Amino acid sequence: MARLVADPDRGGDVLVATATPPGASALAVVRLTGPTGATLAVARRIAPRLPEAPRPREAALCRLVGEDGQPLDRALVLFFPAPSSATGEEVVEFFCHGSLAIVAGLLAAARAAGARPAVRGEFTRRALANGKLDLAEAEGLAALARAETRGAARRALGLVEGELSRRVMAAREKMLDVLSGLEAALDFAEDVAAPDARGVADVLAAVAGEAEALATTAARGGARDRHKVVAILGRPNAGKSTLFNALVGRDRAIVTAVPGTTRDAISETCEIGDEMLTLLDTAGLRATEDEVEKIGVDVAERAGETADLVLYAIDMVLGMKEEDEEFLGKGRAGQTLVVGTKADLVGGDAEEGRVEVLASARTGLGLEALRALLAARLGFVQADGELLVLERHRAALVSAASSLREAAALAGNLPPAPELVAARVREALSALGVITGETATEELLDRIFATFCVGK
């Protein structure tokens, strides 16, 4: 992978940073990266008994000393020679005890030995500059570090492993083939036949469609990454709070046999179908003269109107009542999932026309089936080959597709306007290059890496 033209030579300094979160822990990792020889020189000031030529990727147990030369810790030291390292430079990592004092002493010793504290994302930026990954893959690393759910982590890992980059590079190759034919016809008009207009238009339209499909993936991903809201509604004592606690995985809401215990909407996040959602427990729906409970009922009704999905609880011991029929007839059928609660008290096989799944929060009966239905209704079921496409990527894909559509339309008029077709193809190439980094500006790189953590 070529070095990015937008990224200056930043490899003159030895960098140091912790690669683990701040705070006391069993272990901490402190990382050095920099020019060959200089990085090892800093490491030997901290670990004096580290061999002159340590074996690559082989842990060595060494005594570490502080900037005053006094013993600091005993730790494992790993050496990664350039270019066979995460950054493409010489890298040394210290796996020390996670004491705040030890980590602070180790960082101070590295600075005293000539290392400079890294800024946000500087390790990954050096990897980018040295061709170890492209810009989209680098963004995948940041997304992977921020992932809150298994689904988000899976999509981020796909970005790290180059799934989007391969699609973008394949599209660029097709565009370059077209562009080379156009430019050859322009530069050597007497010797090279003009490209087939219909063939050029078809190729460009097909690539535009691929870019548009990827942009649509970004729109779906943005909707998924937003925490969707599920409101649990139903009559008093329908088992809403017990069901809420079971889905959350802890006793978050008060559960009693007294109707009207819940007076306000209680919110908690939980993982369903490898994605995160916000679950609301609400007051029981009924007519009441109690002013406080009446406010709670109003809050519950508003929650049901704005939630992405309503989980409506029916007490299977009492069965469907007129109040339930009234609520379910209000026209939110597509946004309502009806669950029959207390299924263990009726044998788990009772039938009720509107009930889609039976569950018992007390015994766990039907909870997995309920989670699966929730995931399906909320669109949390991952499709094969699903990609993580960020908003920045989406904007570039839309721009490229627009230029390609214009180029395809102009191509129908070849040979009179091949230079206009070529100009639009270059615009599309530049737009896609922003995704992988070939045409990224210094300002864009600064903005992206400012979102990374220090040590990444």
Phi, psi of 289 (to 5 degrees): -95, -10
pLDDT digits (tens, 9 = 90+) for 125-180: 999 999 999 999 999 999 888 888 888 888 889 899 999 999 999 999 999 998 98
Q: Tell me: pLDDT of 266 over 80.
A: yes
Q: Tell me: pLDDT of 222 over 70.
A: no
pLDDT score recorded for residue 8:
44
Query: Closest Cα to residue 115, out of 78, 89, 153?
Result: 89
Question: What is the value of pTM for the model shown?
Answer: 0.75
Q: Tell me: pLDDT of 209 over 90.
A: yes
Among the residues of 281-385, which ranges form H helices?
A: 291-306, 322-328, 367-377
pLDDT score recorded for residue 377:
86
Q: What is the CA radius of gyration of the chain?
A: 30
Angle at 141 between CA 135 and CA 146, to 5 degrees: 130
pLDDT digits (tens, 9 = 90+) for 69-109: 999 999 999 999 999 999 999 999 999 999 999 999 999 99
Mean pLDDT of 423-438: 94
pLDDT digits (tens, 9 = 90+) for 323-377: 888 888 776 656 889 999 998 888 755 566 788 889 988 888 889 999 999 988 8
Burial degree of 69 (CB within 10 A; 0-12, 13-18, 19+): exposed
Q: What are the structural domains, with CATH classification, of the chain?
A: 15-134 (3.30.1360.120), 228-377 (3.40.50.300)
pLDDT score recorded for residue 318:
86
Asked if 388 contacts 155 with a C-beta cutoff of 8 angstroms, the reply is: yes
More confident site: 378 or 59: 59
What is the number of other CB atoms lying within 10 angstroms of the CB of residue 82? Answer: 18
Angle at 427 between CA 422 and CA 432, to 5 degrees: 125
Asked if 207 contacts 424 with a C-beta cutoff of 8 angstroms, the reply is: no
Mean pLDDT of 378-405: 84
pLDDT score recorded for residue 14:
96
Question: Rounded mean pLDDT of the chain?
Answer: 85
* CA 8 – CA 122 distance, rounded (Å): 13
Mean pLDDT of 286-292: 76
Distances (CA, A) of 351 to 243, 286, 312, 343: 19, 24, 16, 10
More confident site: 417 or 298: 298
Query: Closest Cα to residue 280, out of 257, 256, 306, 260?
Result: 306
pLDDT score recorded for residue 298:
82
Asked if 17 contacts 454 with a C-beta cutoff of 8 angstroms, the reply is: yes
pLDDT score recorded for residue 262:
54
Q: Tell me: pLDDT of 28 over 70.
A: yes
